[in-house]
């Protein structure tokens, strides 16, 4: 689904959809449902959620959201439905990192789910209270795998990592973090945990080749591809 014309969510739209009167405090709102319609799909949140500090549940499904800037105000949020939007990257997903009360999140049918192989482990690691992701329960083996996959003392709480995420367009994920000896040792020690390793394998994590390394056979194959056809190499 391609994003439509720019449409920013407004406080007036929030009051209209929620039925909250003009003189009621937005902080009283506990649940808000603003699904997209054929005629109207939200692309940005703006500052419309700034005063919804008591909100517990938010449904923004079937819109055309390309950014989650502005969602950070929902410090009490427990359930978030972003089904069928246009969230493109883990940089945008990372905007949820301060919403520590989140227990249920749905990103299904967003480009980030398809484009980022480590998306699920990333979200599980980022949100410690998460119980359900994309209509599937979060298993303990996934939690353990995410801790190994993102092995770093700073983890996702570093302000520098967050700033780098927004600047570079994606976070420094495991392939950059799991380079220290302690992380590798941890992975080896837990090699008997088949469920955890399978989850890591699904994210294309190659335990035999550390990040940035290239096997000799791969180098030879790349060299063969670069040689002009018809040229014989002397032995």
pLDDT, tens digit, 9 for 90 and up, residues 49-90: 999 999 999 999 999 999 999 999 999 999 999 999 999 999
Whether residue 3 is contained in a domain is answered as no
Whether residue 74 is contained in a domain is answered as yes
Whether residue 153 is contained in a domain is answered as yes
Under the banding of pLDDT at 50, 70 and 90, the label for residue 47 is very high
Q: Within a 10 A sphere around the Cβ of 58, how many other Cβ atoms?
A: 21
Q: Within a 10 A sphere around the Cβ of 186, how many other Cβ atoms?
A: 14
Element (H, E) at 137: strand 136-137
Q: What pLDDT is recorded for position 181?
A: 40
User: Is the predicted pLDDT of residue 19 greater than 80, yes or no?
Assistant: yes
Q: What pLDDT is recorded for position 152?
A: 56
Whether residue 234 is contained in a domain is answered as no
Whether residue 197 is contained in a domain is answered as yes
Q: Which domain holds residue 103?
A: 11-226
Distance CA 156, CA 135 (A): 24
Dump pLDDT digits (tens) for 137-153.
999 999 999 999 887 54
Distance CA 149, CA 184 (A): 10
Whether residue 207 is contained in a domain is answered as yes
- Count structural domains, the chain: 1
Whether residue 152 is contained in a domain is answered as yes
How buried is 96 (Cβ within 10 angstroms: 0-12 exposed, 13-18 middle, 19+ buried)? Answer: buried
Whether residue 205 is contained in a domain is answered as yes
Report the CATH number that the domain containing residue 113 is assigned in CATH: 3.80.10.10
* pTM for this model (two decimals): 0.70
User: Is the predicted pLDDT of residue 106 greater than 60, yes or no?
Assistant: yes
Distance CA 78, CA 162 (A): 22
Closest to 70 in 3D by CA, of 91, 87, 46: 46
User: Is the predicted pLDDT of residue 194 greater than 90, yes or no?
Assistant: no
């Amino acid at each position: 689904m391609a994003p439509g014309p720019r449409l920013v969510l407004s406080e007036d739209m929030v009051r209209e959809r929620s039925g909250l009167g003009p003189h009621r405090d937005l902080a009283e709102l506990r649940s808000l449902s603003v699904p997209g319609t054929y005629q109207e799909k939200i692309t940005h949140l703006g500052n419309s959620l700034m005063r919804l500090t008591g909100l517990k549940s938010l449904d923004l499904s079937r819109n055309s959201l390309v950014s989650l800037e502005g969602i950070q105000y929902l410090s009490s949020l427990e359930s978030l439905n972003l089904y069928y939007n246009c969230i493109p990257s883990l940089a945008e997903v990372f905007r949820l990192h301060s919403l520590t009360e989140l227990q249920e999140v749905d990103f299904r049918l967003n480009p980030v789910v398809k484009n980022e192989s480590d998306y699920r482990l990333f979200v599980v690691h980022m949100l410690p209270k998460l119980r359900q992701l994309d209509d599937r329960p979060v298993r303990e083996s996934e939690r353990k795998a995410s801790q190994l996959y993102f092995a770093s003392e700073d983890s996702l709480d570093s302000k520098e990592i967050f700033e780098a995420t927004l600047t570079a367009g994606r976070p420094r994920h495991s392939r950059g973090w799991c380079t220290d000896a302690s992380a590798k040792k941890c992975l080896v020690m837990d090699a008997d945990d088949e469920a955890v390793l399978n989850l890591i394998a699904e994210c294309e994590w190659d335990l035999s080749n550390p990040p940035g390394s290239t096997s000799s056979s791969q180098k030879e194959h790349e060299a063969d591809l670069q040689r002009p056809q018809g040229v014989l190499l002397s032995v």
